Amino acid sequence: MEQQSRLIVLVSGMPGSGKSMFSSIARNMGIPVYVMGDVIREEARRRGLEPTPANLNMIARLLREEYGPAVVAERIAEKLREDPSPVVLIDGVRSLVEVEVFEKLGRVVIVAVHASPRTRFERLRRRGRPGDPQTWEEFRQRDLTELGFGLGSVIALADYMLVNEGPATEFKEKARMLLAGLVADGS
């Protein structure tokens, strides 16, 4: 497949905003999904570390210090090179340096998912994924870490913004409509 004909949908947003729900909808539509955070969780396992918020933040920082700011995107890009799909979705892009990695592999569209801090905190507490913060302080620290990677810049430059404050059914419908439009335009 010619690389520029591939559509790469980059999903960005603060932790708990609804990126995983957006990605799940894409997956149900047959779009392959790659999750940036899985690279960090895999690295924590490889190093024999529990996936606590502190350990995951440390691994994210160490990987970038050891291999450069685009390391997580580069590891996903290696997998993308083996995937012939005309449309793929990358969940959890955190910096413009990461965006640049994917721009070399196809036509990029950035979708930002937004929810208020209080909403996101409650979602993360209920979600129970390893590494999710359980206290407001852990939550705030994780937000600051994410913003330190450049997440705010990616969100600010997004091509589309989906607000996820209401019922899940409403967000899912908006996500389906956006993805269907992108797939129709991109293929």
Q: Domain range holding 97?
A: 3-186
> Total structural domains in the chain?
1
Q: Tens place of pLDDT for every residue, the chain, 187 residues?
A: 445 689 999 999 999 999 999 999 999 999 999 999 999 999 999 999 998 878 988 998 899 999 999 999 999 999 999 999 999 999 999 999 999 999 999 999 999 999 999 999 999 998 877 778 889 999 999 899 889 889 999 999 999 999 999 999 999 999 999 999 999 986 4
Annotated binding site: 13-20
pLDDT in the model for residue 101: 98
Please compute, for residue 96, the number of CA atoms within 13 A of its CA located in the half-sphere on the CB side. 8
Binding-site residues for ATP: 13-20
- Return the pLDDT at 186: 67
Task: Let me know: does 77 contact 102? Beta carbons within 8 Å.
Answer: yes
Hey, what are 38's tokens?
A: 């899985």
CATH at 90: 3.40.50.300
Query: What is the pTM assigned to this prediction?
Result: 0.91
- Among the residues of the chain, which ranges form H helices? 19-28, 36-46, 53-67, 71-80, 96-103, 117-127, 136-148, 151-156, 168-186
For residue 1, what pLDDT is reported? 44
